Amino acid sequence: MEVITALKDNIHILKRILKSLYPFRKYSVLIILLMLFSAGISFALPIVNKYLVDSGLLKNNLRIVIQLSILSLILVIFDQIIRLLETKLIAYINNLYIYKWTSLSMRKMMKLRMHYFNDNNFTEIINNNRMDIGNIARITDESFALRILSIFKIIGGFIGLLVIDYRLSVLVLIVIPVRYVMTCYFTRLKKEVHQQYMEQSREYSRWYGDRMAGIKEIKLAGIDNIIMQQFTRLQRDIIKTDIRAQIIDNLNSVTESIFFKVITTLIYVVSALMIIKGTFTVGGLFAFFTYSMNVMVPISSFINIKYDFTKILLSARRLFAFLDMECEKNKSDSIRMSKESVSEEIEFKNVSYSYDNNKVALDNVSFNVKKGEKVGIVGMNGSGKTTLLNILLRLCEADGGQVYLDGVDIKDIHIKDLRKAIPVVNQDIYLFNASVKENIALFSDLSDERILELVNLGGIQDFIDKLPAKINTKLGAGGIKLSGGERQRIALVRAFARSSKIIVLDEATSSLDLKYEKWINNVLVNKFRENTIVLVTHRPYILNKLDKIILIDKGRILDIGKHKELLLRNCIYSDIMKQAQ
């Protein structure tokens, strides 16, 4: 039963791979036609050489030798020209095929839910996709095309063998069943080893991405020796598996070579006996030997498709599983809206959310934020503050309840429009390895005048002037060339650049000094007094100026009120403020 299920699964995957080749059908037909011409030349050459030996060399006929040698040369030249055309077309298809899968993978990553990236680091994702796409793309490379060509060569070779001597053909026919059994055995071994290799490579990629992300902590803790020990252990396992895979590959090649040598030895011995008896010719021997190679080598190559398909099917199964993962979805009739049309009202109504391990993050949460209000969200670590924002932006979906934006359920709003309407500045800032200008504009076409206006609004002109190339200075991966406070200031300006009526700040001023914090707070209150602003913060100076504060603890709303009111009536809030000072 398991065998049948596995077979059906392999057939389904194979159909999906073949379907992916459909856009290249015209080029594929052209390649097959070129292969037919090449196979025809492969069939003709041994016949030409047979007559060249028997009727030319052995009979001392120089004219026939010259004529047939020239014909043989012309055929070889044509064959090589055809091969060049084949190579060009195959390379074109192969590169477009790789691009197709790479593009699909990239699009998929843009649409996957955030929890996937929380469970898998980018090094692991990229390495898995690169390995899988590389293996699948082997179906369009030159070696695979040559195996398709082998079908035509086998047909031509069999015809040639029968024409030369049908009795000797029996020796060649022995190759097929024996070689098939041998290949099936090595294929099974290869599948087991490659599955192990894929899992070990995935584990190493996960480990590598995690350790490189924490390289600063590794240096500060002085644990590089421990990390290298882990590296050595993981690499040792990969190397052992790779060596085993290479040994299996080599055993397959060695047994193939030995088997072919046995067959060719028998052909020489039997042919020699026939030549001595006068029932066979030397030219016929050369022609028969060429045809036998045109059969044996291609048959082995064709049978080895199953051997090589082990990698292709395993990688295709993993890549298709990745491409079939659940994505962020819009309803078919989702509402399109511009950020200018949003009137800035937010309402959470009986919202609940639990993580995969059934840990409750939000429990029946309800509150509203009116147009133009400046609202703070306060709570201890793990209380559900960030989860609230993630649900608002649909980075995760609530298990129950509704969230409304201007009275419209956010599930009915197109995800891109929702997120464009609500710029967010997080505590963990990520700046791209691009210029200050590109990071502020997020690669959009903002004018220099608008950029300058935003720079002045955000008060970052002072440190930008100190940068080597000013606004065009590249900031390094993650903005590594800047301090934490400078990164947050650019992130704030980036949010202002969105010109949205709602702004969400998640501990967005945690790295700012007191002077700049007060300055930016005044900007938010005065310059953006008509905007709705939601802040996750524990800074008393900011909280004191907000319209209301939502106190959340263990996923529940404990209290809502102004800063001074909560200080007087809520001991949990009072304790949080004491810890924040």
pLDDT tens digit sequence for 296-338? 666 666 666 766 777 788 888 889 999 998 888 888 778 887 7
DSSP 378: E
Q: How far apart are CA 433 and CA 478, in angstroms?
A: 7
380, 334 Cβ separation under 8 angstroms: no
The one-letter amino acid at 520:
I
Residue-averaged pLDDT of the chain = 81
Q: What residue ranges do the domains of the chain occupy?
A: 10-323, 339-423+498-580
Residues 6+ apart with CB under 8 A from 211: 218, 227, 230
Which of 294, 35, 49, 300 has the alpha carbon at shortest distance from 160? 294
Q: How far apart are CA 326 and CA 349, in angstroms?
A: 26
Name the pairing type of β-strands 502-506 and 424-425.
parallel
Statement: residue 121 has pLDDT above 80: no
Average of pLDDT values for 492-512?
79
Q: What does the pLDDT look like over 552-567, one tens digit per residue? A: 988 898 899 998 888 8
Which of 422, 354, 424 has the alpha carbon at shortest distance from 384? 354
Q: How is residue 355 written in tokens?
A: 């993580």
Q: What is the pLDDT of residue 405?
A: 87
Say what the pTM is. 0.73
| Alpha-helical regions (H) of 165-174 | 169-173
Task: Identify the bridge partners of residue 552 per DSSP, sorted by sequence position.
Answer: 557
Q: How is residue 296 written in tokens?
A: 């044996």
37, 265 Cβ separation under 8 angstroms: no
Q: Which helix (H) or strand (E) holds 540?
A: helix 540-543
Residues in the chain, how many?
Answer: 581
Statement: residue 22 has pLDDT above 80: yes
Average of pLDDT values for 338-350?
78
The one-letter amino acid at 431:
L
Average of pLDDT values for 231-237?
91
Pick the CATH number of 10-323 from 3.30.200.20, 3.90.1280.20, 1.20.1560.10, 3.40.1500.10: 1.20.1560.10
| Alpha-helical regions (H) of 52-141 | 62-111, 114-119, 122-136
551, 566 Cβ separation under 8 angstroms: yes
180, 305 Cβ separation under 8 angstroms: no
Q: What is the pLDDT of residue 146?
A: 66
Q: Which is the CATH superfamily of the domain at 339-423+498-580?
A: P-loop containing nucleotide triphosphate hydrolases (3.40.50.300)
- Neighbour count for residue 60 (Cβ, 10 Å): 8
Question: For residue 207, what are the CA distances in angstroms to 106, 228, 230?
Answer: 22, 12, 9
Q: How far apart are CA 306 and CA 321, in angstroms?
A: 22
Q: Matching CATH topology for 10-323 and 339-423+498-580?
A: no
Q: What is the pLDDT of residue 300?
A: 62
Q: 3-class SS at 373?
A: coil
Statement: residue 251 has pLDDT above 70: yes
Percent of the chain at pLDDT above 70? Answer: 88
Question: For residue 317, what are the CA distances in angstroms to 16, 85, 198, 443?
Answer: 10, 33, 12, 36
Instruction: Check residue 554 and give left, alpha or beta (phi > 0: left; psi -120 to 50: alpha).
Output: left
Query: Band of the pLDDT at 34, cuts 50, 70, 90?
Result: confident
556, 365 Cβ separation under 8 angstroms: yes
CA 553 to chain centre: 39
Q: What is the pLDDT of residue 266?
A: 77
- Neighbour count for residue 458 (Cβ, 10 Å): 23
Q: What is the pLDDT of residue 43?
A: 74
